[in-house]
Structure 1
Amino acid sequence: MAATIKNKIRNIRELKNYTQEYMAERLGVTQAGYSKIEKGKTSLSYEKLVDIGKILDVTVEDIISFEYDKYFSNFNNNNNSKITGNNNGSILINADNSSVLKELYEDKIQLLEKLLNRTENELQRYKIKFGEI
C-alpha cells in the first residue's frame, strides 16, 4: 500500500529527528496546525509542500517518491555509513561519532534554548505584572 504524502512527510521529519514543534515554528504555524497537516485534516498547497521540503532539506519530488521501507533496506545494507542500521531496523550511532550526534541535535538544542528564553521572558513579565509569590 502506497504511503500518503502526509505519512511521507511525517516519516522524513522523524528520520531527521525533528519535532512537530520545530516544523511548526519554521513554517510559522502552531504545533496543532502542523499536526493537522500530518494527519491530513488540512489541505496542503504545493507552496506549503515546498516550504516543508526546504525545512526537511529535500525536494517536493523527494517527498513524493520517498519509500520508508526502501530507505531502511538500503540504509541497513550500507556498512560504510557513520550511522548504521542493525538487523531490526533501529539506528545505531557509534560512540566515536560524537560529531554526528552533535549535528543531529544542534538544531533541537537551539530551538530549546529559544523556547527557554521565551519562557523566562514571559515569567519576568508575569512577575512584574503580578508580583512575586
Structure 2
Amino acid sequence: MQDRRWWLGTALSGALVVVAGAFAAHALEGQLTPRLAAAFETGVRYQAWHTLALLAVLAWRGSVCLPGQRLAMGLWAAGIALFSGSLYAMALSGATRLGMITPLGGVLLIGGWLALAAALLRAPSRA
C-alpha cells in the first residue's frame, strides 16, 4: 500500500482529535481558565481540519501522485505537532510561554497549503 505510514499517522491523528475533544469537554471542563480552554479547543479544531486535509491528499495521491503533495503533508504534520501540540501543552501545564511555539506551527500549516497550491500549479492540466 502506497503511503502506508502516512495513512497510519493520519488515522492516529484522527483518533487523537476525538480523544482530545472528549478530554476537553469532560475531564477539563471547569479546570482551565477560559483563555486556556479556548487555546486547547483551538488546537483540537486546527488538528481536525488538517487531519481531514491529510486524508484528502492521501486519497488524491491514490489516483494522481504529484511532486509536492508529500511536502504539503509533511508541513501539515509538523504544523499540527507544533501548533496544536504547543496549545495542548500550554493549556495542560499553564506554561503560557509555550505559546511562543504556536506561530511557528501556524507558519508550517500555511506553508503546507502553499506547497499544495504550488504542486497544483506545476501539475499538467489533466491532473
Give the TM bin, normalised by the shorter chain.
0.3 to 0.5
Higher strand content, 1 or 2: 1
TM-score computed with the length of structure 2 as normaliser: 0.32
Higher RCO (C-alpha 8 Å, min separation 6): 2
TM-score computed with the length of structure 1 as normaliser: 0.31
Higher helix content, 1 or 2: 2
